[in-house]
Structures are given as structure tokens and as C-alpha cells.
Structure 1
Amino acid sequence: MSLNKNEFFPVGALEQFLVQIGRVVEIGGRQIAVFRLSDGRIFAAVNQSPHPKGGPLAEGIVSGHYLYDPLYDWKIDLTTGLVQAPDNGQAQMLTTKVEDGQVWIAAGELQAV
């Protein structure tokens, strides 16, 4: 999939994304985990844990702006994708925007697998 880095794709209406519940959307065959925080901000990450054994992120628990990995309980900062100490790693985050009630993701930021 060849995308312009600044190209945004619509992934659904804002009300389709429940507060503090991850939802998986697909862009170009890749699963993206989308999270809506209690303050209304939207974050998106490739739906793959940065843990060496991998796993889904969308099933994690959201608290504030942190996501707790559902398999390894790693604490991930959704604003940066960084795993918090004592663990380390980084989730691949994607830029999001909300316009006219529609959630958009900068799919051009997807790195090759």
C-alpha cells in the first residue's frame, strides 16, 4: 500500500468509538486500535503490542491517557506510544483528527511490517 504520509482516512463517526474502550478498524489490511479518552481525545495505534511476544492492544484497559496491555500489563502512554518503566518499548502510534463528527487516521504513517 503506497500512501502519502499526510493522507487521512475516515474510520467512523465519533459516537461509534466508546469512551475508554478500544475498537479495531482496518486500513490497507492492517489492524488499527482506536481509543477515545474520557476527555474526548482520540488516539490510534497499530493493534500490536510492543512486547516481544506481541498481542492485541485494542483489548487493553484505558485509564487517563494510559493503556494497559491486556496480556502483559505494560503501561503505554497513548500520547507518545512509549512503554513506561520498568518495561520499555514503543507502540506505533498514528496521528488522528476529528472533523465534523468523523474520526480520521493518518494511514500514511503506517510503517511496513
Structure 2
Amino acid sequence: MSVQASKKIFVINLDELNVGLGKVVTIDGKEIALFLQENGTVHAIENSCPHKGGPLSEGIVSGEFVFCPLHDWKISTKTGMAEGADEGCVTCFDIEINGEQVFVNL
């Protein structure tokens, strides 16, 4: 069994993100939604709701949750898990912040 090393990729400068708004970046054809939290951390999740594929980066953000713009599913930006009666999850990505630069680890 081999362990694949993660790849750290610069995606955006921290000042390009706003609390309460998602931002989509594309890496190797994969859309990733970034969410800046009030405490300065950034969460990164797959930009596709597990329900019908809605663009989570366009959803309403409330704290560490985003509500899918298509059917209002509540998704944790921290864990990727659907909350409440909704079921499913999206992929989460590790983030590194170095100064003002935001990196995603794939």
C-alpha cells in the first residue's frame, strides 16, 4: 500500500475572500468553494451539493454553514456533512494560510 503525498496549490490571496460569501476556485478541473470565517480561518469544500449538485459557493452563508441555492440544504463548510434532515456529504480540503496566501492541499 502506497501513501500519496498531498499537493499544496496556491489558489487566492486572503484579501480576495469575504466573510459571508463563498468563492469558487478551479483546480485540475475540480471546483472548490472557499469560505472565510470570522475568526480568519478558511474552509474549502467541493462546490457541488450532494442533493442535486447546486453550486455551494453561491449559497447563503451562516457561520460555518452554507445553504445550497437550489433546495436550501444546510452543509457544514468545516466537515462537509449535510445537517438536519438532509443526508450526504461533500469532500473537504485542507487549507494552509501563509501570510496573505491561501493554499489548498489536494
Q: Would the TM-score normalized by the shorter structure come out above 0.5?
A: yes
For the aligned residue pairs, the C-alpha RMSD in angstroms reads 1.2
Larger fraction in strand: 2
Q: What residue is the counterpart of 1:24 in the other structure?
A: 24
Q: State how many pairs are aligned.
A: 103
Aligned-pair distance for 1:43? 0.7
CA separation in 2, counterparts of 1:13 and 1:93? 20
What are the within-5 Å matches in structure 2 for residues 87-106 of structure 1?
87-106=86-105
CA separation in 2, counterparts of 1:84 and 1:99? 31
- When normalised by structure 1's length, the TM-score is 0.85
Query: Once the two structures are aligned, what percentage of the paired residues are identical?
Result: 38
**Does the 8 Å CA contact 1:5/1:106 hold for their aligned counterparts?**
no
The runs of 5 or more residues in structure 1 that have no matched partner are: 108-113
Q: What residue is the counterpart of 2:56 in the other structure?
A: 57
Aligned-pair distance for 1:5? 4.2
Q: What residue is the counterpart of 1:36 in the other structure?
A: 36
- When normalised by structure 2's length, the TM-score is 0.90
The runs of 5 or more residues in structure 2 that have no matched partner are: none
What SS is found at the alignment partner of 2:34?
strand
